[in-house]
Chains A and B, each alone.
Chain A
Amino acid sequence: MIQYTDKIREIAGRLLKDGTVEVFIGYRKGTVPMMNEPVLIRDPDQVDTLHWDVNCGLNLCNYLTRRTEKIGILATGCNSRNIVTHIIENQIKREQLYIVGIPCTGMVDHRAVKRAVGGKEILSAEQQGEKLIVKGADFEKTFEIKEILQSNCAVCRHRNPVEVDEMVADPVPEQEGVEPYKDVESVEGMEPRKKWEFFTRLISRCLRCYACRNACPLCYCPTCFVDESRPQWVGKSNDPTDTMTFHFLRAYHCAGRCTDCGACERVCPVGISMRQFTKKLNKDAEELFSWEAGLTLEQRPPLDVYRPDDYNDFIK
Protein backbone atom coordinates (compact mmCIF):
# COMPACT_ATOMS: atom_id res chain seq x y z
CA MET A 1 0.00 0.00 0.00
CA ILE A 2 2.09 2.78 -1.37
CA GLN A 3 -0.27 5.57 -0.24
CA TYR A 4 -0.14 4.35 3.35
CA THR A 5 3.65 3.99 3.22
CA ASP A 6 4.11 7.55 1.96
CA LYS A 7 1.75 8.94 4.54
CA ILE A 8 3.43 6.97 7.36
CA ARG A 9 6.86 8.29 6.31
CA GLU A 10 5.53 11.83 6.17
CA ILE A 11 3.92 11.60 9.64
CA ALA A 12 6.96 9.91 11.20
CA GLY A 13 9.31 12.50 9.71
CA ARG A 14 7.18 15.36 11.00
CA LEU A 15 6.86 13.88 14.52
CA LEU A 16 10.59 13.21 14.83
CA LYS A 17 11.56 16.64 13.48
CA ASP A 18 9.26 18.67 15.67
CA GLY A 19 10.20 16.62 18.72
CA THR A 20 6.72 15.25 19.41
CA VAL A 21 8.35 11.84 19.67
CA GLU A 22 11.89 10.63 20.26
CA VAL A 23 11.41 7.29 18.60
CA PHE A 24 8.98 6.02 15.98
CA ILE A 25 8.01 2.36 15.89
CA GLY A 26 6.92 1.00 12.52
CA TYR A 27 7.74 -1.70 10.00
CA ARG A 28 10.38 -2.04 7.35
CA LYS A 29 10.73 -4.54 4.56
CA GLY A 30 12.19 -7.80 5.79
CA THR A 31 15.14 -9.49 4.16
CA VAL A 32 12.82 -12.31 3.11
CA PRO A 33 9.58 -11.68 1.14
CA MET A 34 6.36 -11.50 3.21
CA MET A 35 8.35 -11.03 6.43
CA ASN A 36 8.24 -7.36 7.24
CA GLU A 37 9.97 -6.57 10.47
CA PRO A 38 9.54 -3.99 13.21
CA VAL A 39 11.90 -1.03 13.17
CA LEU A 40 12.60 1.73 15.67
CA ILE A 41 13.59 5.02 14.07
CA ARG A 42 15.16 7.95 15.88
CA ASP A 43 16.64 9.88 12.98
CA PRO A 44 14.14 11.79 10.78
CA ASP A 45 16.43 11.17 7.80
CA GLN A 46 15.78 7.45 8.07
CA VAL A 47 12.00 7.49 7.76
CA ASP A 48 12.27 6.20 4.20
CA THR A 49 13.02 2.74 5.57
CA LEU A 50 9.44 2.63 6.89
CA HIS A 51 7.13 0.42 4.89
CA TRP A 52 3.55 -0.78 4.94
CA ASP A 53 1.77 -3.61 3.14
CA VAL A 54 -0.18 -6.78 3.92
CA ASN A 55 2.83 -8.47 5.51
CA CYS A 56 3.00 -6.34 8.66
CA GLY A 57 1.53 -9.00 10.93
CA LEU A 58 3.85 -8.67 13.91
CA ASN A 59 2.51 -6.76 16.88
CA LEU A 60 4.40 -3.50 17.50
CA CYS A 61 2.97 -3.12 20.98
CA ASN A 62 5.60 -5.65 22.00
CA TYR A 63 8.22 -2.89 21.81
CA LEU A 64 6.46 -0.48 24.17
CA THR A 65 6.82 -2.25 27.46
CA ARG A 66 8.29 -0.02 30.16
CA ARG A 67 9.85 2.46 27.74
CA THR A 68 10.42 5.90 29.15
CA GLU A 69 10.76 8.15 26.10
CA LYS A 70 8.10 9.74 23.92
CA ILE A 71 7.06 7.20 21.32
CA GLY A 72 5.27 7.34 18.01
CA ILE A 73 3.73 4.02 17.04
CA LEU A 74 1.71 2.56 14.20
CA ALA A 75 -1.48 0.85 15.23
CA THR A 76 -3.98 -1.29 13.37
CA GLY A 77 -7.21 -2.36 15.08
CA CYS A 78 -5.73 -5.23 17.07
CA ASN A 79 -2.43 -3.46 17.77
CA SER A 80 -4.28 -0.45 19.14
CA ARG A 81 -6.26 -2.71 21.45
CA ASN A 82 -2.98 -4.13 22.73
CA ILE A 83 -1.72 -0.60 23.32
CA VAL A 84 -4.87 0.09 25.35
CA THR A 85 -4.23 -3.11 27.32
CA HIS A 86 -0.65 -1.99 27.93
CA ILE A 87 -1.87 1.37 29.25
CA ILE A 88 -4.48 -0.29 31.49
CA GLU A 89 -1.79 -2.62 32.86
CA ASN A 90 0.57 0.30 33.56
CA GLN A 91 3.23 -0.83 31.12
CA ILE A 92 3.25 2.54 29.33
CA LYS A 93 1.63 5.93 29.87
CA ARG A 94 -0.88 7.32 27.41
CA GLU A 95 0.88 10.71 27.50
CA GLN A 96 4.08 9.11 26.20
CA LEU A 97 2.40 7.84 23.09
CA TYR A 98 1.52 9.36 19.77
CA ILE A 99 -0.58 6.68 18.11
CA VAL A 100 -0.73 6.70 14.33
CA GLY A 101 -3.80 4.69 13.38
CA ILE A 102 -4.03 2.46 10.32
CA PRO A 103 -7.38 1.24 9.04
CA CYS A 104 -6.48 -2.38 8.35
CA THR A 105 -8.08 -4.86 5.99
CA GLY A 106 -6.06 -7.82 7.16
CA MET A 107 -2.68 -9.45 6.84
CA VAL A 108 -1.66 -12.20 4.47
CA ASP A 109 -1.10 -15.71 5.77
CA HIS A 110 2.42 -16.37 4.51
CA ARG A 111 1.99 -20.11 4.98
CA ALA A 112 -1.11 -20.18 2.77
CA VAL A 113 0.86 -18.45 0.02
CA LYS A 114 3.76 -20.83 0.43
CA ARG A 115 1.40 -23.81 0.23
CA ALA A 116 -0.34 -22.38 -2.83
CA VAL A 117 2.94 -22.20 -4.77
CA GLY A 118 3.81 -25.76 -3.81
CA GLY A 119 6.43 -24.82 -1.25
CA LYS A 120 8.72 -23.31 -3.88
CA GLU A 121 11.03 -20.51 -2.91
CA ILE A 122 9.38 -17.11 -3.15
CA LEU A 123 11.70 -14.35 -4.31
CA SER A 124 9.31 -11.44 -4.19
CA ALA A 125 5.76 -10.64 -3.09
CA GLU A 126 4.39 -7.25 -4.12
CA GLN A 127 1.05 -5.88 -3.09
CA GLN A 128 -0.90 -4.10 -5.82
CA GLY A 129 -4.20 -2.88 -4.47
CA GLU A 130 -6.31 -5.92 -3.61
CA LYS A 131 -3.85 -8.34 -5.16
CA LEU A 132 -0.58 -9.91 -4.12
CA ILE A 133 1.83 -10.80 -6.91
CA VAL A 134 4.20 -13.56 -5.90
CA LYS A 135 7.26 -14.36 -7.96
CA GLY A 136 9.81 -17.14 -7.81
CA ALA A 137 12.61 -18.34 -10.07
CA ASP A 138 10.25 -20.07 -12.52
CA PHE A 139 6.75 -18.98 -11.60
CA GLU A 140 4.53 -15.97 -11.07
CA LYS A 141 1.19 -16.12 -9.32
CA THR A 142 -1.41 -13.49 -8.45
CA PHE A 143 -3.55 -13.87 -5.34
CA GLU A 144 -6.68 -12.06 -4.25
CA ILE A 145 -5.62 -10.80 -0.83
CA LYS A 146 -8.99 -11.45 0.78
CA GLU A 147 -8.66 -15.14 -0.07
CA ILE A 148 -5.30 -15.59 1.63
CA LEU A 149 -5.85 -13.61 4.83
CA GLN A 150 -4.59 -14.85 8.19
CA SER A 151 -7.41 -16.76 9.85
CA ASN A 152 -7.72 -14.17 12.63
CA CYS A 153 -7.98 -11.33 10.08
CA ALA A 154 -10.69 -13.16 8.15
CA VAL A 155 -12.94 -13.04 11.22
CA CYS A 156 -11.78 -9.63 12.49
CA ARG A 157 -14.43 -7.31 13.91
CA HIS A 158 -12.17 -4.41 14.87
CA ARG A 159 -10.23 -3.38 11.81
CA ASN A 160 -10.05 0.27 12.78
CA PRO A 161 -7.91 1.39 15.70
CA VAL A 162 -9.76 2.29 18.90
CA GLU A 163 -7.32 4.81 20.37
CA VAL A 164 -5.48 7.16 18.00
CA ASP A 165 -3.94 10.61 17.74
CA GLU A 166 -3.89 10.67 13.97
CA MET A 167 -5.11 8.38 11.20
CA VAL A 168 -3.20 7.70 7.98
CA ALA A 169 -6.48 7.24 6.08
CA ASP A 170 -10.25 7.17 6.55
CA PRO A 171 -11.61 4.23 8.56
CA VAL A 172 -12.52 1.10 6.61
CA PRO A 173 -15.93 -0.54 7.00
CA GLU A 174 -16.03 -3.25 9.66
CA GLN A 175 -16.82 -6.77 8.52
CA GLU A 176 -20.44 -7.78 9.05
CA GLY A 177 -21.74 -11.22 9.85
CA VAL A 178 -18.43 -12.90 10.66
CA GLU A 179 -18.55 -15.92 12.94
CA PRO A 180 -15.37 -15.57 14.98
CA TYR A 181 -15.85 -18.60 17.20
CA LYS A 182 -17.03 -21.23 14.75
CA ASP A 183 -13.93 -23.38 15.20
CA VAL A 184 -14.14 -23.11 19.00
CA GLU A 185 -17.76 -24.24 18.86
CA SER A 186 -16.89 -27.29 16.81
CA VAL A 187 -14.37 -28.33 19.48
CA GLU A 188 -16.88 -27.60 22.24
CA GLY A 189 -19.21 -30.13 20.69
CA MET A 190 -16.69 -32.97 21.04
CA GLU A 191 -16.41 -35.65 23.71
CA PRO A 192 -13.67 -34.94 26.30
CA ARG A 193 -11.43 -37.64 24.84
CA LYS A 194 -11.80 -36.24 21.33
CA LYS A 195 -11.01 -32.76 22.62
CA TRP A 196 -7.84 -34.07 24.21
CA GLU A 197 -6.85 -35.80 20.98
CA PHE A 198 -7.56 -32.63 19.01
CA PHE A 199 -5.29 -30.49 21.19
CA THR A 200 -2.62 -33.18 21.52
CA ARG A 201 -2.42 -33.42 17.75
CA LEU A 202 -2.49 -29.63 17.46
CA ILE A 203 0.62 -29.14 19.57
CA SER A 204 2.40 -32.38 18.66
CA ARG A 205 4.96 -30.57 16.52
CA CYS A 206 5.76 -27.95 19.16
CA LEU A 207 9.51 -27.45 19.64
CA ARG A 208 9.07 -25.34 22.78
CA CYS A 209 10.96 -22.53 21.08
CA TYR A 210 8.64 -20.02 22.78
CA ALA A 211 8.41 -17.85 19.66
CA CYS A 212 4.65 -17.51 20.29
CA ARG A 213 5.37 -16.10 23.71
CA ASN A 214 8.10 -13.78 22.47
CA ALA A 215 5.92 -12.35 19.70
CA CYS A 216 3.00 -11.77 22.06
CA PRO A 217 2.65 -8.24 23.45
CA LEU A 218 0.89 -9.66 26.51
CA CYS A 219 3.94 -11.72 27.51
CA TYR A 220 6.06 -9.04 29.09
CA CYS A 221 6.93 -10.65 32.44
CA PRO A 222 10.64 -10.13 33.23
CA THR A 223 10.92 -13.88 33.82
CA CYS A 224 8.36 -16.15 32.21
CA PHE A 225 7.02 -19.08 34.24
CA VAL A 226 8.58 -21.51 31.78
CA ASP A 227 12.04 -20.02 32.33
CA GLU A 228 11.94 -20.05 36.10
CA SER A 229 13.85 -22.80 37.82
CA ARG A 230 13.21 -21.90 41.46
CA PRO A 231 10.55 -23.09 41.66
CA GLN A 232 10.33 -24.91 38.37
CA TRP A 233 6.67 -24.66 37.42
CA VAL A 234 6.84 -26.75 34.28
CA GLY A 235 9.29 -29.30 32.90
CA LYS A 236 11.69 -27.97 30.30
CA SER A 237 11.80 -31.09 28.17
CA ASN A 238 9.62 -31.72 25.14
CA ASP A 239 7.55 -34.21 27.12
CA PRO A 240 4.00 -33.92 25.68
CA THR A 241 2.54 -33.20 29.12
CA ASP A 242 4.98 -30.35 29.70
CA THR A 243 4.24 -28.97 26.24
CA MET A 244 0.52 -29.09 26.93
CA THR A 245 1.08 -27.38 30.29
CA PHE A 246 3.05 -24.64 28.56
CA HIS A 247 0.37 -23.99 25.93
CA PHE A 248 -2.45 -24.19 28.42
CA LEU A 249 -0.85 -21.77 30.87
CA ARG A 250 0.45 -19.40 28.22
CA ALA A 251 -3.09 -19.13 26.93
CA TYR A 252 -4.54 -18.72 30.39
CA HIS A 253 -2.19 -15.84 31.12
CA CYS A 254 -3.83 -14.09 28.17
CA ALA A 255 -7.37 -14.53 29.49
CA GLY A 256 -9.38 -11.36 29.01
CA ARG A 257 -6.34 -9.68 27.45
CA CYS A 258 -5.88 -11.34 24.06
CA THR A 259 -6.92 -9.26 21.06
CA ASP A 260 -6.52 -12.12 18.59
CA CYS A 261 -3.81 -10.26 16.66
CA GLY A 262 -2.43 -13.57 15.39
CA ALA A 263 1.24 -12.77 16.02
CA CYS A 264 1.71 -16.07 17.89
CA GLU A 265 0.53 -18.16 14.95
CA ARG A 266 2.40 -16.03 12.46
CA VAL A 267 5.77 -16.62 14.08
CA CYS A 268 5.38 -20.31 14.88
CA PRO A 269 8.13 -22.14 12.97
CA VAL A 270 6.02 -25.31 12.72
CA GLY A 271 2.66 -23.66 12.04
CA ILE A 272 0.76 -24.58 15.20
CA SER A 273 -2.65 -22.96 15.49
CA MET A 274 -2.31 -22.00 19.16
CA ARG A 275 -5.10 -19.46 18.82
CA GLN A 276 -7.41 -22.41 19.46
CA PHE A 277 -6.52 -22.01 23.13
CA THR A 278 -6.78 -18.24 23.41
CA LYS A 279 -9.93 -18.06 21.32
CA LYS A 280 -11.80 -20.22 23.79
CA LEU A 281 -10.85 -17.73 26.51
CA ASN A 282 -11.89 -14.80 24.32
CA LYS A 283 -15.21 -16.50 23.70
CA ASP A 284 -15.75 -17.06 27.42
CA ALA A 285 -14.76 -13.48 28.23
CA GLU A 286 -17.28 -12.26 25.71
CA GLU A 287 -20.10 -14.60 26.71
CA LEU A 288 -19.65 -14.54 30.48
CA PHE A 289 -18.31 -11.03 31.04
CA SER A 290 -19.40 -9.16 27.88
CA TRP A 291 -15.76 -8.28 27.46
CA GLU A 292 -13.49 -7.84 24.49
CA ALA A 293 -9.96 -6.80 25.38
CA GLY A 294 -8.59 -3.34 24.74
CA LEU A 295 -11.67 -1.50 23.54
CA THR A 296 -11.69 1.18 26.22
CA LEU A 297 -9.39 2.89 28.67
CA GLU A 298 -12.31 3.53 31.03
CA GLN A 299 -13.10 0.02 32.16
CA ARG A 300 -11.03 -2.50 34.13
CA PRO A 301 -10.69 -6.01 32.65
CA PRO A 302 -12.91 -8.78 34.09
CA LEU A 303 -10.13 -10.61 35.93
CA ASP A 304 -9.19 -7.32 37.59
CA VAL A 305 -12.48 -6.43 39.26
CA TYR A 306 -15.09 -8.09 41.40
CA ARG A 307 -18.74 -7.64 40.66
CA PRO A 308 -21.43 -9.30 42.76
CA ASP A 309 -23.07 -10.68 39.62
CA ASP A 310 -19.84 -12.17 38.21
CA TYR A 311 -20.14 -15.58 36.61
CA ASN A 312 -19.55 -18.19 39.31
CA ASP A 313 -21.28 -21.36 38.21
CA PHE A 314 -18.03 -23.29 38.58
CA ILE A 315 -17.75 -22.74 42.34
CA LYS A 316 -19.65 -24.71 44.94
Chain B
Amino acid sequence: MKNLLEHIGIEPGRLHFSWISSAEATKFVDVANQVYEAVKEVGPAQVFIKRLAEVA
Protein backbone atom coordinates (compact mmCIF):
# COMPACT_ATOMS: atom_id res chain seq x y z
CA MET B 1 0.00 0.00 0.00
CA LYS B 2 2.76 2.44 1.00
CA ASN B 3 4.84 1.42 -2.00
CA LEU B 4 1.97 1.89 -4.43
CA LEU B 5 0.93 5.25 -2.97
CA GLU B 6 4.51 6.43 -3.24
CA HIS B 7 4.65 4.99 -6.74
CA ILE B 8 1.77 7.18 -7.87
CA GLY B 9 3.38 10.27 -6.41
CA ILE B 10 2.63 10.60 -2.70
CA GLU B 11 5.87 11.80 -1.10
CA PRO B 12 7.80 9.34 1.08
CA GLY B 13 7.43 10.72 4.60
CA ARG B 14 3.74 11.48 4.31
CA LEU B 15 2.43 8.02 5.04
CA HIS B 16 3.43 6.17 8.21
CA PHE B 17 2.59 2.81 9.66
CA SER B 18 3.24 1.69 13.18
CA TRP B 19 2.11 -0.97 15.60
CA ILE B 20 1.85 0.37 19.13
CA SER B 21 0.44 -1.47 22.10
CA SER B 22 -1.77 0.41 24.56
CA ALA B 23 1.00 -0.16 27.10
CA GLU B 24 3.63 1.55 24.97
CA ALA B 25 3.00 5.19 25.85
CA THR B 26 6.57 6.30 25.19
CA LYS B 27 6.63 4.58 21.81
CA PHE B 28 3.39 6.36 20.91
CA VAL B 29 4.89 9.73 21.80
CA ASP B 30 8.07 8.97 19.85
CA VAL B 31 6.20 7.85 16.76
CA ALA B 32 3.82 10.82 16.91
CA ASN B 33 6.78 13.18 17.10
CA GLN B 34 8.57 11.43 14.24
CA VAL B 35 5.47 11.58 12.08
CA TYR B 36 5.05 15.28 12.90
CA GLU B 37 8.65 16.05 11.97
CA ALA B 38 8.56 13.98 8.78
CA VAL B 39 5.30 15.48 7.55
CA LYS B 40 6.40 19.00 8.44
CA GLU B 41 9.48 18.48 6.32
CA VAL B 42 7.44 17.38 3.31
CA GLY B 43 5.15 20.39 3.69
CA PRO B 44 1.45 20.74 2.91
CA ALA B 45 -0.02 18.14 0.56
CA GLN B 46 -0.34 19.36 -3.01
CA VAL B 47 -1.81 16.27 -4.63
CA PHE B 48 -4.62 13.78 -4.05
CA ILE B 49 -6.82 16.50 -2.57
CA LYS B 50 -10.49 16.59 -3.30
CA ARG B 51 -11.89 20.09 -3.32
CA LEU B 52 -15.55 20.28 -2.51
CA ALA B 53 -17.76 22.04 -4.99
CA GLU B 54 -18.29 25.63 -4.02
CA VAL B 55 -21.87 26.27 -3.12
CA ALA B 56 -23.23 29.80 -3.16
Contacts and interface: CB of A to CB of B under 8 A. Distances in A.
A235 B49 CA distance: 13
A39 to B, nearest CB: 36
Interface in B8-56: 8-12, 16-19, 31, 34, 46-50
Contacts of A194: 9
Interface stretch (A69-77, A153-161, A171-179, A241-249): A241-249
A213 B50 CA distance: 23
B18 A316 contact: yes
A269 to B, nearest CB: 22
A277 B31 contact: no
A284 B9 contact: no
Contact of B50 (A199, A241, A315): A241
Contacts of A242: 50
Contacts, number: 61
Interface size class of B (residues with CB under 8 A): 20 to 34
Contacts of A239: 50
Contacts of A251: 4
A244 B8 contact: yes
Contact of A241 (B9, B16, B48): B48
B50 to A, nearest CB: 4
Given A192-B11, A314-B2, A235 B50 contact: yes
Contacts of B6: 192, 195
Contacts of B31: 316
Interface string A282-316: 00100000000000000000000000000000111
Given A252-B1, A284-B3, A316-B34, A277 B8 contact: yes
| Chain A interface, DSSP helix/strand/loop, else mixed | helix
A248 B4 contact: yes
Contacts of B11: 192
Given A241-B49, A280-B3, A316 B16 contact: yes
Interface residues of A, number: 28
Nearest to B18: A316
Nearest to A288: B3
A306 to B, nearest CB: 13
Interface string A179-219: 00000100110001111111110000000000000000000
A112 B43 CA distance: 43
A264 to B, nearest CB: 16
Interface of B: 1-12, 16-19, 31, 34, 46-50
Interface of A: 184, 187-188, 192-200, 235, 239, 241-242, 244, 248, 251-252, 255, 277, 280-281, 284, 314-316
Closest 9 CB pairs of A and B: A196-B9, A195-B9, A241-B50, A316-B18, A314-B2, A315-B17, A199-B8, A192-B11, A196-B47
